[in-house]
Amino acid sequence: MDMEELNLNLNEVWKEALELLKTRVSPSTFQPWITPLIPVSKNEAEYKKDTFVLKSNQAFGVAHLNQKFLPEIQKAISEVIPQNPPVEIVFVPTDVKKAPKRKEKPTEQIILMQEQIDNLKQMQSFCALNLKYTFENFVNGENSNVAFQAAKMAADAPGQKYNPLFITGAVGMGKTHLMQAIGHQILKNFPKLKVKYAKTEEFTNQLIDSCRKGLESYSDMKKFRDQYRNVDVLLLDDIQFAEGKKRTEEEIFNTFDALFHAGKQIVFASDRPVETFEKTPDRLKSRYEWGLSVEIKAPSLETRVEIIKKHALRSNYEISDDVAKFLAKNYSKNIRELEGAYNKVSAYASIQGIDLTVESVKEILGFKEGNKKITQADIINACAEYFGTTYDSVIGNQRSSEIKAARQMSIYLIKEILNLSYPVIASTFNKNHTTILYSYEKMKKDLKTDKTLQEKAQELEISIRK
The pLDDT value recorded for residue 103 is 39
d(CA 81, CA 45): 23
Residues 36 and 56 sit within 8 Å (Cβ to Cβ): yes
The pLDDT value recorded for residue 394 is 93
d(CA 233, CA 267): 8
Domains 145-295 and 301-365 share a fold: no
The pLDDT value recorded for residue 217 is 64
The pLDDT value recorded for residue 330 is 83
Which residues, given as ranges, of the chain have pLDDT below 70? 1-8, 27-29, 32, 42-48, 58-61, 63-64, 93-127, 212-218, 333, 368-373, 466
Written out in words, the top-level CATH class of the domain with range 376-465 is: mainly alpha
The pLDDT value recorded for residue 274 is 92
> For residue 290, what are the contacts with CB-CB under 8 A and spacing of at least 6?
163, 164, 260
Residues 137 and 306 sit within 8 Å (Cβ to Cβ): no
- Give the 3-state secondary structure percentages of the chain, helix then strand then coil, rounded to 5: 55, 10, 35
Query: Is 233 strand, coil or helix?
Result: strand
The pLDDT value recorded for residue 46 is 57
The pLDDT value recorded for residue 82 is 79
The pLDDT value recorded for residue 12 is 84
The pLDDT value recorded for residue 94 is 52
**Overall fold of domain 145-295:** Rossmann fold (3.40.50)
Q: How far apart are the first and last CA of the chain?
A: 63
d(CA 40, CA 25): 23
Residues 164 and 158 sit within 8 Å (Cβ to Cβ): no
Amino acid at site 113: M
d(CA 52, CA 164): 45
Count CB neighbours of 463 within 10 A.
Answer: 11
- Report which of 124, 145, 123, 271 is spatially closest to residue 200, judged by C-alpha positions: 271
Segments making up each domain of the chain, as ranges:
10-91, 145-295, 301-365, 376-465
What CATH number does the domain located at 301-365 have? 1.10.8.60
- Report which of 444, 111, 136 is spatially closest to residue 310, judged by C-alpha positions: 136
Please write the tens of the pLDDT for every residue from 236-245. 999 999 999 9
Q: Which CATH architecture has domain 10-91?
A: 2-Layer Sandwich (3.30)
